A and B are shown apart, each in its own frame.
Chain A
Amino acid sequence: MTVYRSANSTKERANYLYFNDDCNANKNDCLGSQNQEDNYNLLSNNDATIAQGDGEYSFLEQESAELIWVKESCNITVTSNDTQASVSLQAALQLAIAIVISITIADSDRSDHVSQELLQYTNTEQINRQKIYIYNTKDATVTTTDTDIAVNIQLLLQVLLTLVLLLDIL
């Protein structure tokens, strides 16, 4: 059994799930979807909060992919946390920062510039790829975690809190 799951914040979220016993065929499938994703990253950016004409976009590029193979085994427990929830939390925080800035700075040119700069500093590009292969095993438990995203969420929250403290909102 093979499970392939992928989450990406810069495009429409899509789940790729493959169940296939033929390992070679599956590898090709996965490569195909990976390439597609890369194209999406460059060409379309649905989650961008601010777009500027000079070609600078503030968005978060992040990709998490997990590939878990379980072969000729029994009683295997696989726990992997859902990255979708954390990706949307991240997007919500970015949006909140942009909202606070656009409300408080009346001049829209200036507000665009400030929020773009703020988000640019916290803009991280990270790619997480995990591959787990379980073969000829009995009674095993596997847990996977994505720690990168947690750090980023903390950072964005700090920026938001600093802003609202500065503006006496809280």
Chain B
Amino acid sequence: MDDSSKQQPATEKVIKVMVDNIFRKNGVQPEELKKNISDEQRQMLKEMVQDLRQQVDQFNKAQKKVTDSEE
């Protein structure tokens, strides 16, 4: 896991419970979902998530810079 999720273990758990609950309520099995993704789609999604993660990291850094310079 990356650093940002290490800082917020509580949030991570809350979200896990939330996602799990929503899946359960709608009768969705994660195991069944895995079969629906082709390798190509898996790769595409992986790249998309990594890209977004990078963007969020950059955004957080920029925010931090502003906050630091304020102090």
Is residue A96 within 8 Å, beta carbon to beta carbon, of the partner chain?
yes
Is residue A43 within 8 Å, beta carbon to beta carbon, of the partner chain?
no
The verdict on A169 contacting B49 (CB below 8 Å), with A106-B36, A118-B19, A159-B15 known, is yes
Expressed in whole angstroms, the minimum distance between the Cβ of B37 and any Cβ of chain A is: 6
Per-residue 0/1 for B24-58: is the Cβ within 8 Å of any A Cβ (1 yes, 0 no)? 01111010011011000110011011101101100
Expressed in whole angstroms, the minimum distance between the Cβ of B16 and any Cβ of chain A is: 6
Q: Is the CB of A169 within 8 A of B52?
A: no
Inter-chain pairs besides A81-B62, A154-B56, A161-B49, 18 sampled, C-beta below 8 Å: A79-B66, A89-B59, A104-B34, A104-B36, A104-B37, A105-B36, A145-B63, A145-B67, A150-B59, A153-B56, A153-B59, A158-B11, A160-B52, A163-B19, A164-B49, A166-B30, A169-B42, A170-B46
Q: Is the CB of A158 within 8 A of B59?
A: no
The verdict on A85 contacting B67 (CB below 8 Å), with A92-B52, A154-B4 known, is no
Expressed in whole angstroms, the minimum distance between the Cβ of A79 and any Cβ of chain B is: 8
Could you tell me the dominant secondary structure of chain B's interface residues?
helix
Of the A-B pairs whose beta carbons lie under 8 Å apart in the complex, a sample of 26, sorted by A's number, is: A89-B55, A92-B55, A103-B36, A104-B34, A104-B36, A110-B27, A114-B22, A118-B18, A121-B22, A143-B66, A145-B63, A145-B66, A145-B67, A145-B70, A154-B11, A155-B15, A158-B15, A159-B15, A162-B12, A163-B19, A164-B49, A166-B19, A167-B34, A169-B46, A170-B46, A170-B50
Residues of chain B at the chain A interface (Cβ within 8 Å) = 4-5, 8, 11-12, 15-16, 18-19, 22-23, 25-28, 30, 33-34, 36-37, 41-42, 45-46, 48-50, 52-53, 55-56, 59-60, 62-63, 66-67, 69-70
